[in-house]
Amino acid sequence: MDRARRATFAAVFLVLALGLVMASPSRPVRSLPGSRPAAVVAWPPSTLVVSEVATGGASASDEFIELANVGSATVDLVGLEVVYVTATCGTITRKAAWASSLLLDPGRHLLIANSLGIHAPVADATYSGGLAATGGAVVLRHVGGAPVD
């Protein structure tokens, strides 16, 4: 019985201690005097996002990917690609790529659709093959693999 009482006391103490740690206000991390960061990486934040993905409608081909420029400056799509990665990460397929300049103004959207689906006639770009309705990811990246931040 003494053993059970000690275990209960230890559990209650642990819960209380964790509660105090979680409730305490966070403080900024301080550097040592005279220290400097090892490197400063100045990645410009991108305002280009994958805003919508539809994996099918009346037919499996009625699918699309929409990009949006949510920033206040024009974005050039040159050197970028949209790829689909299967849920197992075993297959990566390119759905669209831009080898030449294509400017996307602030607040504008770009539609990429399956060439066999109902959205193809109004799409800015089309692709063949599909997106699995059961999983996977659509990724906007630089041609060659580096994701867009």
User: Quick one: pLDDT at residue 57?
Assistant: 84
Nearest to 90 by CA among 30, 121, 136, 51: 136
Which residues touch 116 (CB under 8 Å, ≥6 apart)?
Answer: 61, 128
pLDDT at 50: 93
Q: Exposed (0-12), middle (13-18) or buried (19+): which is 79, by Cβ within 10 Å?
A: middle
pTM, 2 dp: 0.67
| Amino acid (1-letter code) at residue 93 | T
Residue 117's pLDDT is: 94
Asked if residue 113 lies in contact with residue 126, where contact means CB atoms within 8 angstroms, the answer is yes
What integer pLDDT is reported at residue 144 of this predicted model? 72
Per-residue pLDDT of the chain (149 residues; tens, 9 = 90+): 455 445 444 444 444 444 444 444 444 545 556 656 555 544 455 789 999 999 988 898 999 999 999 999 999 999 999 999 999 988 999 999 999 999 999 999 999 999 999 999 999 999 998 898 888 999 988 887 666 65
- The number of C-alpha atoms within 13 Å of 89 and in the hemisphere containing its C-beta is 0
